[in-house]
Amino acid sequence: MKTIIKWIAIVFGGLVAFVAILAFFGESLATAYLGAPKAFSAEKTPARLDYTSLDSWAAHPDTSDPTDLHKANETPPEDAAHPVDVFYVHPTTYFGPGEWNAIADDSNFAGQLLEPILAVHGSVFRDCCDVYSPHYRQAHIGSFIRHGSPASFAALDLAFFDVDAAFDEFLSQRHADRPFIIAGHSQGSLHAIRLIETRIQGTDLQDHMIAAYPIGYWVPADKLTRGLGPTGLCQTADQTGCLVTYDSYGDLGPGRDLSGQIPYWYASGWEWVSPQTTLCVNPLSWEANTETVSADANKGALTTDSVFSLISLLRDRNDGITFDALPDSVPALTGAHCDANGTLFVEGQTEGPFSVGMDQKTHMYHSYDWSLFYENLKENVENRIVKFAG
């Protein structure tokens, strides 16, 4: 019991938590209780969100939210000017029970898990940017494991409908000439990439996009020829108008399962894909190659302590967990390299806060894709902004 509770103590990404639930309850019981229905029902989808209301935003420049957090020993600047906007799409926090799409309500368990995610991911941008992160009717975690199910695609389409609508409001609330960054994690990265392809590429907006950071999703390499060609993969630390992506695995495990399937959107429609090669930019060198970069280049990893309650999940309840400040980051925690298949390998963590909340069999560090390279990401965002300003 204690081992399993420890295993899922820190949960930022949907896949890790769902695997833990299966281990605790047994697959049939967990799927029956927590899984989405077999069929997608448009009549049972939650009500649409009104993005003119601040209640529809998990983070917004006009609210106080976890993206504003600083470390306890830091003094935040007063009324600092932010020359850049960020549109960040959060990962899956909805594991059920319920329908195929979540109600965007902070009172539920999915809302509780947003707190630590926004605290780490969003605070990367706090000193340079105004952060906009919409609530959206995210697709159930089952959308990524019910292979071939048309319900998965319907749920993901509905989630993207909200992201797209939120992006419209994002554009209306900012000056058209302000530069911006697109970012996301996991399911959020899937939607962020679709947003780049359908709303940004080939428009005036492309000239104002500093970079994109859709991290933590297996992005098939063929996306560069089937959609992302005009944006392209970042090859240097200060290149602009390009895309940074990777997914992290510990070197104590086998890495990404090349037979694993994921849903992916192409202009021709949805496909279940088993990508043999994925896109990978090393967040320590910012280059898309297989060179190993040592831990000395890692300026600091950062994570927050979180309390994961199975009872709260089963009752779909938010226990009101909040953070007042960020902890200190840990320098030189791990090096990294992209292998030939595009998987980012990091040094396996056997103790400390980064040794929990990950799949012990595969050593998938999905929960820590942003956390492991927190200070490097923060520095890189600021460097690209300086380069863009020219």
Decide if pLDDT at 106 tops 80.
Answer: no
Q: What is the mean pLDDT of the chain?
A: 87
**Lowest mean pLDDT segment, chosen from 148-152, 277-281, 359-363:** 359-363
Helix boundaries (H) for 145-249: 150-172, 187-195
Res 274: pLDDT: 94
204 CB contacts (<8 Å, ≥6 apart)? 176
Cα 132–Cα 138–Cα 142 angle in degrees, nearest 5: 145
In Å, how far from its chain's centre is CA 306? 17
CA atoms within 13 A on the CB side of 17: 29
Decide if pLDDT at 102 tops 80.
Answer: yes
Interval 85-91 mean pLDDT: 98
Cis upstream peptide for 76 (omega within 30°): no
Give the C-alpha separation, 21 to 27, whole Å. 8
pLDDT digits (tens, 9 = 90+) for 129-185: 999 999 999 999 999 987 768 999 999 999 999 999 999 999 999 999 999 999 999
The domain segmentation of the chain, as residue ranges, is 2-389
Decide if pLDDT at 250 tops 90.
Answer: yes
Q: What phi and psi, each to the nearest 5 degrees, are found at residue 301?
A: -100, 150
pLDDT digits (tens, 9 = 90+) for 327-359: 999 999 999 999 999 999 999 998 888 887 666
Q: Which two tokens stand for residue 172?
A: 């209306």
pLDDT digits (tens, 9 = 90+) for 171-227: 999 999 999 999 999 999 999 999 999 999 999 999 999 999 999 999 999 999 999
DSSP letter assigned to residue 301: B
Decide if pLDDT at 107 tops 80.
Answer: no
Res 9: pLDDT: 35
pLDDT digits (tens, 9 = 90+) for 58-67: 999 999 998 9
The pairing of beta strand 269-273 with beta strand 262-266: antiparallel
Q: Are 212 and 266 in contact (CB under 8 A)?
A: no
